[in-house]
Amino acid sequence: MITSYSEQDKISDVIASQPSLLQMICRFGIQLGVGDKTVREVCTAAGVDTTTFIAVANVMKQGGSIAPLYIDKIDMVTMMHHLKSAHEFFLDFQLQHIRRKLLEAIDCSRQNEVAFLILKFYDEYMSEVRKHMEYENQRVFTHVDHLLAGKLDPDFRIRHYCKSHDGMDTKLQELKNIIIKYYTPAEGTSSDLLCNVLFSLYNCEADLRAHCDMEETLFFPAVARLEDQVAATAKDTPVEKEEPAPENLSEREKEIIACIVRGMTNKEVAAQLFISVNTVLTHRKNISRKLGIHSVSGLTIYAIVNQIVKVEEIELQ
Ligand SMILES: [Fe+2]
Ligand SMILES: [Fe+2]
């Protein structure tokens, strides 16, 4: 029985010792058909950083308490690729797959209010997960790409994001409880499909929890370390700050515009983007100065014309 994985272990033994690692291996882009090859041989052939692979496998097996051993050793590009693949898996496959099974399992043919509410609950949950993961894809990973290029974004700190990072599993627990407690299948209907959906929800919940733990215990601390390194270097060798041309909006300003035209208050924008209300106000002032637009309706037109938002995302009054 393997207690801690090493580069010399056969990858088939690694999978056999913990089947949940199978998904992790696929997310690293490693194909099956691995024969008797070791972790190192398989990782090298697939162009995957072996240390990062071992770090992720061991954190999955032993929990986040051992993550500090690896924080300064993982390769950020490999780690981000792994996390992005997991996002794709949840958004484009697993959550959609469970929804299809849910539709088959609950009685949507009649005006069954509980079935309708269960589906609505699930859809809201899916859109929350999408928002969370798309934010990480667009904001967090871009931030890390910039750090790797030696640039530090003054508006974003991973420690701040980490504080409000949501495990995304609580709502799934609630959904399972609602189904178990309140949904009664129509008379004469088998409960097999419903039980199968519940098992999938349990697996998905555990998988999401493991994903978030990996981010919180291994990835975010490694990003924080990188931020500190880049900040220290910047102090030693001050670089000229790249100011965007006056008419050009920064990516952050576009994000702010998108939030405003969707009807969010300054406080809601601040919470959504993990910045202070004062920072939102400063951005709004800069946006008005750069564009010469001071009204929300003017910004709305600007945002649609410049494809910052789609017209259907806006509640037209
Ligand atoms: Fe994530
Ligand atoms: Fe996350």
Whole-model pTM?
Answer: 0.71
Whether the predicted pLDDT of 245 surpasses 70: no
SS (HEC) of the chain: CCCCCCCCCEHHHHHHHCCCHHHHHHHCCCCCCCCCCEHHHHHHHHCCCHHHHHHHHHHHHHCHHHHHHCCCCCCHHHHHHHHHHHHHHHHHHHHHHHHHHHHHHCCCCCCCHHHHHHHHHHHHHHHHHHHHHHHHHHHHHHHHHHHHCCCCCCCCCHHHHHHCCCCCCHHHHHHHHHHHHHCCCCCCCCCHHHHHHHHHHHHHHHHHHHHHHHHHHHHHHHHHHHHHHHHHHHHHCCCCCCCCCCCCCCHHHHHHHHHHHCCCCHHHHHHHHCCCHHHHHHHHHHHHHHHCCCCHHHHHHHHHHCCCCCHHHCCCC
Q: What is the pLDDT of residue 117?
A: 80
C-alpha 168 to ligand 1 mean position (Å): 10
For the CA of 141, the nearest ligand: 1
C-alpha 65 to ligand 1 mean position (Å): 19
C-alpha 165 to ligand 2 mean position (Å): 6
C-alpha 166 to ligand 1 mean position (Å): 10
Q: What is the pLDDT of residue 247?
A: 63
C-alpha 85 to ligand 2 mean position (Å): 13
pLDDT band at 235 (very low <50, low <70, confident <90, very high): low
